Amino acid sequence: MMRLPVFRLHQPESLSDAMALLASSDGETRLVAGGTDLWPNMKRRHQSADVVVSLNRVAELSGIRGEVGGEVRIGATTTLAAVAASPIVRAAYPALARAVESISSPAIRNMATLGGNLCLDTRCTYYNQTEEWRTSIDFCLKEGGTICWVAPQSPRCWAVSSSDAAPVLCALGARVRLLSPAGEREVSVADFYRDDGIDYLTKQPDEVLTEVVLPPSDGVQMSFWKLRRRGSIDFAVLTAAVAVRRDDDGVVSEAAVWLGAVASAPVRSEAAEAVLVGNALTPEVITEAATATRKVATPLDNTDFTLQWRSKMVVHYVEAALREVAGLERERLAPNHAM
């Protein structure tokens, strides 16, 4: 049986206690909520901790506040199941509900949290392996080694940002609140990430992600499409999140087009957005915008499916997401594979 290494566990009941423990603990200290990312990583020994501080008893970190039409705040340890089931989220941010509902399996969604999904360690088939397996390849740049086997010439790590919530929240212009002994700050979800497989978050080690803040969604149309092998359990190998605002004539006034699982951070396609803004969502405009996303995605050979094919799918999935927003007929197969 795969077992966890020995560590010390703290279960604070308030955020201030958690902060104090985080500041005072000796050795490597990690926060845990759902544990569905950290525990497997620790079992495989590619993440380690001397001290683990569990946030599960910190009641103030859980829950959804706000109402449809206004700003909505989701506590970091709110489970994915609770987010997906929330009538507010389903009504105001259907793409977020869809994204969260598509994550892994029902039991995982009962455990995993929204904050945890945003902080999800980047993934790579050279990295998410046991210590013995990684010994066989002499480890990799992300953990213990000197070469990124995905791109051996590359000085950086190419592990993949695999959060499904992240690209949607980026497209919706959401922000996260970060608390540290020094105080509190808010950053956009987009700025929460860095395109580096190792140092993938801009969050500081002493900061705790406490809340996700969603702006009012009035008039925003959104969609989320996801590619993966199986309809459950699997991580995405490609996601497309789009949000548009259209004026009364159907002309796009604002657009956000984001891709997930194709780089070490969510990727924005400003070129696609530029095609959309100022135009109506005709099939032609949509195809042009989707085609414009091709350049920003750089899938590599470290997930399921061949990278050339994944690369080609980017356009199809963005197109499908935009067509859904436009109320156009969708391509026939992808819906089943998307969700």
Partner 1 sequence: MDRYTTATLRVNGQDLQVVFPTHHTLLEVLREECGLTGTKHGCELGECGTCTVLVDGEPVLSCLALTAEMEGRSIETVEGLQDGNELHPLQAAFADLGAAQCGYCTPGMLMTATALLAENDDPSADEIRTALAGNLCRCTGYHKIIEAVEWAAGVVRGDAGAGPAREVLFGSSVPGEGS
Partner 2 sequence: MTPPRPGQVIAPDQAPPDSAAGSTHEDDLRIVGTPFRRVDGWAKVTGQTRFADDMTFPRMIHMRLVRSTLPHAFIQSIDTSKAEEMAGVVGVLTGKDMPEPFGILPVSQDEHALCLEKVRFVGDPVVAVAALTEDQAADACSAVKIEYEPLTTISSVDEALETHEPLIHDYGDEGNLHKKISLQFGAVEDGFAEADEILEDVMFYEGSTHLPMEQHAAVAVPEGGGRITLYTSTQTPHYVHKVLAQVLGMPASRVRVIACSVGGGFGGKSDIFNHEIAVAKMALVTGRPVKICLNREEVFYCHRGRHPVLMHLRTGFTKDGAMVAQHLKTALDGGAYGSYGVASTYYTGALQTVTYGLPRYRFDSIRAFTNKPPCGPKRGHATVQPRFALEVHLDKAAQRLGIDPADLRLNNLLPPDSITANYLKVGSIGLGACIQAVVDGSGWRERFQSLPHGRGLGLACGSYLTGAGLPIHWNHLPQSAVQLKLDRTGTVAAYCGEAEIGQGSDSVLAACVAEVLGIGLDDVLLCVGDTGLTPVDLGSYSSRVTLMVGRAAIQAAERARDRLAEAVAEKLDVPADRLVFAESRVFDSGSPENGMPFAEAVQQAEEKFGALATTGSYAPPRAPGRYRGSGVGPSPTYSYSACVIEVEVDPETGLYRVEHVWIAHDIGRAINPVLTIGQVEGSVYMGLGEAMMEEQVFRRLPKSRSSALVHKVPSMLEYKSPTFHEMPPVTTYLIEDPDPEGPFGAKEVGQGPLLPVIPALANAIFDAVGVRIDQVPIGPHMIRKALEDKEAGGDGRYGPKSFPDIDFGVPLMVPTPDEGGDGRATNTEEAGVRKGSGTMTDGVRKGSKP
The site for partner 1 (CB under 8 A) is made up of 1-11, 32, 34-36, 39-40, 43-44, 54, 56, 81, 104-108, 110-111, 231-233
Which stretch, 24-32, 132-140, 247-255, 284-292, contacts partner 2 (CB under 8 A)?
132-140
CA 207 vs CA 56, 181, 182, 203, 252: distances in Å: 17, 8, 9, 6, 38
Q: Which is nearer to partner 1, 106 or 335 (CB)?
A: 106
Q: Which two tokens stand for residue 296?
A: 């920003």
Q: Can you tell me which of 313, 314, 318, 325 binds partner 2, judged by CB under 8 A?
A: 313
Buried b (16+ CB within 10 A) or exposed e, 296-328: bbebbbbbebebeebbebbbbbbbbbbbbbbee
- Of 122, 128, 210, 221, the residue at the interface with partner 2 (CB under 8 A) is 128
**Length of the chain measured in residues:** 339
Nearer to partner 1 by Cβ, of 10 and 246: the residue is 10
As beta bridge partners, residue 258 has: 241, 268
Query: Cβ of residue 66: shortest distance to partner 1, in angstroms?
Result: 24
CA 100 – CA 170 distance, rounded (Å) = 14
Select 29 or 269, whichever has its Cβ closest to partner 1.
29
Within residues 247-306, the interface with partner 2 by CB under 8 A covers 304-306
Q: Could you give the 3-state DSSP secondary structure of residue 147? A: coil
Contact letters for partner 2, residues 197-226 (x by CB under 8 A): ------------------------------
Both structure tokens of 179: 């608390």
Q: Closest distance between partner 2 and the C-beta of residue 142, in Å?
A: 16
Closest approach of partner 2 to the CB of residue 312, in Å = 7
Residue type, 94: P
Q: Shortest CA distance to 266 belongs to which of 161, 175, 172, 192?
A: 161
Least Å distance, CB 231 to partner 2, is: 3
**Residue 132 is a binding residue for partner 2 (CB under 8 A):** yes
The binder of partner 2 chosen from 2, 9, 59, 251 (CB under 8 A): 2
- Measuring CA to CA, which residue among 21, 61, 131 is closest to residue 8? 21
CB atoms within 10 A of CB 269: 26
- Token readout for 89 is 């989220």
Minimum CB–partner distance for residue 127 and partner 2 (Å): 12
Q: Which does 171 bind (CB under 5 to 8 A by kind): partner 2, partner 1, none?
A: none
| Total binding residues toward partner 2, as defined by CB under 8 A | 39
* Closest CB to partner 1 among residues 48, 308: 48
- Is residue 48 near partner 2 by the rule CB under 8 A? no
Candidate segments 81-89, 186-194, 244-252, 330-338, binder of partner 2 by CB under 8 A: 330-338
Candidate list 16, 110, 135, 282; residue touching partner 2; CB under 8 A: 135
- Residue 15 makes CB contacts below 8 A (sequence gap 6+) with 58, 60, 61, 179, 208, 210
218 interacts with, out of partner 2, partner 1, none, CB within 5 to 8 A per kind: none
The nearer residue to partner 1, 36 or 161, going by C-beta atoms, is 36
Q: What is the DSSP string of 83-134?
A: HHH-HHHHHH-HHHHHHHHTSS-HHHHHH-BHHHHHH---B-TTTSS-HHHH
Tell me how far apart the alpha carbons of residues 76 and 209 are, in angstroms, rounded to a whole number. 6
Asked if residue 124 lies in contact with residue 198, where contact means CB atoms within 8 angstroms, the answer is no
